[in-house]
Chain A
Amino acid sequence: MEKLLLLGDEAIAQAAIDAGLSGIYAYPGTPSTEIMEYIQASPEAKELNIRSLWSANEKTAMEAALGMSYAGKRAMVCMKHVGLNVAADAFINSAITGANGGLIVVSADDPSMHSSQNEQDSRFYGKFALIPVLEPSNQQEAYDMVHYGFQISEQMRVPVMLRITTRLAHSRTGIARRPVRTQNKMSLPSNLKQFILLPAIARKQYRELLGKQEHLEMLSADSGFNQFFDYPENRKLGIIACGLAYNYLIENFEGHKVTHPVLKVGQYPVMPAMVNELYEKCDEILVLEDGYPIIEELIRGMLNKGKKVMGRLDGTLPRDGELNPVIVAKALGIEVTPGNSVPAIVKNRPPRLCDGCGHNDAFLALNEALHDYSRGRVFSDIGCYTLSALEPLEAINSCVDMGASITMAMGAADAGLVPAVAAIGDSTFTHSGMTSLLDAINNNAPITVLILDNSTTGMTGGQTSSAYGKIEAICKGLGVSEEHIHVIKPMPKYHDENVDILRKELAYQGVSVIIPRRECIQTLGRKLRQKAKAKEMEVQN
């Protein structure tokens, strides 16, 4: 069969289509976004009637996917690693309810924080939930693991996590497809109490999950994703390489033939016997993980009294950041010829707000309106507008988690920082800001909330925003008084007018909402190009 040239994310999406997926649920987040986007754009998926709309946040996505699994069909839910924090309640409990139709949770980690606020390792969540975790070493394995994941999810009646990282998600290579499976027909769980987590049932369900663990270890020993390659000629050092780290390891050896015994890990929980085989045969162990030192810590133990175990904890590898072939080479003592250093003349070029972006004008107005107050009172959120932290605007003082701006502003105001300002995007507002605003209203907090409405989910490339056309109604419905809701046009010609409105509302001792509304310059440009193209086609016809 001809190979398809796909990003890791796209390989996962194509695999899901081929494995009989009925629905995908997700909130955009780098590096996971392209999974949903691929399915939305796929004519095949359309023909197969695969459900593929964006969710308001990762929790609602996780719950909807669990509902589809309850009804017996295969579902996938995708998010970036920090999205799993949002979905955690539903995620952990889905392990207790178990799955009916196959359920795969894709969590895309971002070691080195290319586009994130932390580099948490989702494998911990998998272990926490006691469900199988699949961690591909390359894009083809990611494709294959989706097929396998649905299979064991249905066989073992548990959700399965697919853990990927940025490099795998955003690297393109040739992918061989497998035969297409048909979708499941709707069929409810045979025990209709399975999903009722009342304590009496939950205890039983939890014990059932615990009882599956040994079987899950056996699966990981048999699937082929965990493999031991012995090398009797050199057993001084044995290597455990998890996920993508395996590729960085073999990159360093002629013909990709490693001259050490290697345990390649791609599926968890790992069977202890497999680890023991390597441990017993070798004098020292090196553990390579693109993320936190999970396996390393397990083998080493708190007391570290056994054989020498090297990795991120003893300084053989850096404690943070993603791995790469050279870091692995250095850990192995392989000589590396470095290139020339970066000339001093090269200046940093950080990301910035686009030319003509409405956020820029909104923050220019806010900065001026706040000019007479002391600095440090603007709580922001997660999106393009977070770039207003950088020069020349330097307009905000926080970025923590989705929706935090409003509640942090309220807490700071409670402490006496009045006025406090929240700056949140439209999509982030409906993701996690609505409950924060409700708290602020119920507390009559003296805060000014800017809901920066560019009518899209901008930072991730312009996906549909759940907030579109609904913001004023939501604010009114939650209880913001109408005279303190203002829609403004963030453009240079309205600057003075906007500063006046902001000043007035900053002085108000209650919740006010200001909505600077201007379409994202990127999505606007895309729409205009599409329009021009359509017109051209019309003329040609």
Chain B
Amino acid sequence: MKKDIILAGVGGQGILSIAACIGMAALDEGLHLKQAEVHGMSQRGGAVQSHLRLSSDPIASDLIPEGSADLIISVEPMESLRYLPMLSRSGWIITSINPFINIPSYPVIELVLKEIWNQPHYITIDADAIAKESGSVKAANMVILGAAAPLLGLKPSSVEKAVENLFASKGKDVVSLNIKALNEGRSYALKHL
């Protein structure tokens, strides 16, 4: 088993929570793991990415080789396109369709989506709306995680357990809200794969 994942978003959008959940689930299944994060200057509202590598064999490089990622998981549509050179020709894009506009030159969202829909394999999801229905728009990243879940090669139970652990300190309500968001994301993806 080997999965190379690029996580993408804008500084402050919480891609590291997605990474943490996948990481915990992978460890739970006894896999090797490497996760390169971006700290420092770019975290201030700039484009951020994380390289997450899971494998049943030891992993060498902290960085995923260009053109070989299995998945781009993005919490922002334009950011999902920024890392296309990293994605393998058979790889998938899983992204939110909700733009995060903090630059004046942000393109028309319809054109961004069209560009994503031109790619061979993608799941685009209205994460904000689904998160809101699940109880809080803050859970949008868990919707995205859910949408990516069927492609992670991990057991649904270990991903769910990781989400529970991540939010355990915030109380039962927060946990169940995020689990709901995760499951809604997953069922959406299963319908659109």
- A contacts, CB < 8 Å to B: 5, 7, 30-31, 33-34, 114-115, 167-168, 170-174, 244, 247-248, 250-252, 255-256, 324-326, 329, 336-343, 345-354, 384, 387, 459-461
Contact = CB atoms under 8 A, between A and B. Distances in A.
Nearest to B76: A349
A247 B34 CA distance: 12
Interface in B81-118: 81-82, 84-89, 91, 102-103, 105-107, 111-112, 115
B11 interface: yes
Contacts of A167: 36, 62-63
A354 B66 contact: no
Which of B61, B69, B87, B107 neighbours the largest number of chain A CB atoms within 10 Å of its CB? B61
B147 to A, nearest CB: 21
Contacts of B56: none
A3 to B, nearest CB: 8
Contacts of B149: none
Interface string B1-35: 00000000011000000000001000100001111
A101 B111 CA distance: 63
Given A340-B85, A459-B41, A326 B66 contact: yes
Interface stretch (B42-50, B129-137, B152-160, B175-183): B42-50
Given A251-B61, A339-B86, A346-B81, 7 more contacts: A167-B36, A244-B62, A248-B61, A339-B69, A340-B119, A346-B107, A352-B45
A504 to B, nearest CB: 32
Nearest to A345: B107
Contact of A325 (B65, B91, B103): B65
A340 B66 contact: no
A250 B39 CA distance: 26
A177 B104 CA distance: 49
B105 A30 contact: no
A529 to B, nearest CB: 11
Contacts of B119: 340
B33 A352 contact: no
Contacts, number: 160
9 contacts: A30-B40, A174-B32, A326-B66, A336-B65, A339-B69, A349-B46, A349-B78, A351-B11, A351-B42
B46 A250 contact: no
A171 B36 contact: yes
A173 B87 contact: no
A169 B186 CA distance: 33
B67 A339 contact: yes
Given A5-B27, A343-B81, A387 B44 contact: yes
A351 B86 contact: no
Interface in B116-144: 119
Contacts of A325: 61, 63-66
For chain B, give the interface size range: 35 or more
B47 A349 contact: yes
Nearest to A329: B65
B168 interface: no
A425 to B, nearest CB: 14
Contacts of B78: 345-347, 349
A251 B23 CA distance: 21
A339 B84 contact: yes
B37 A7 contact: yes
B193 interface: no
When A and B form their complex, which 7 residue pairs have the shortest distance between CB atoms, in order from nearest? A30-B40, A115-B40, A351-B46, A171-B62, A251-B61, A351-B44, A325-B65
A135 to B, nearest CB: 15
A174 B27 contact: yes
Contact of B40 (A174, A247, A460): A460
Contact of A5 (B33, B61, B86): B33
B88 A339 contact: yes
A256 B58 contact: yes
Contacts of B115: 343, 345
A127 to B, nearest CB: 26
B38 interface: yes
B97 to A, nearest CB: 15
A174 B41 CA distance: 26
Interface string B54-79: 00011111111111110000000011
B65 A171 contact: no
Contacts of B27: 5, 174
Contacts of A7: 37
A336 B36 contact: no
B88 A170 contact: no
Contact of A345 (B32, B87, B112): B112
Given A167-B62, A336-B67, A339-B67, A114 B42 contact: yes
Given A340-B85, A351-B45, A251 B37 contact: no
B172 to A, nearest CB: 12
B44 A352 contact: yes
Nearest to B32: A174
A175 to B, nearest CB: 11
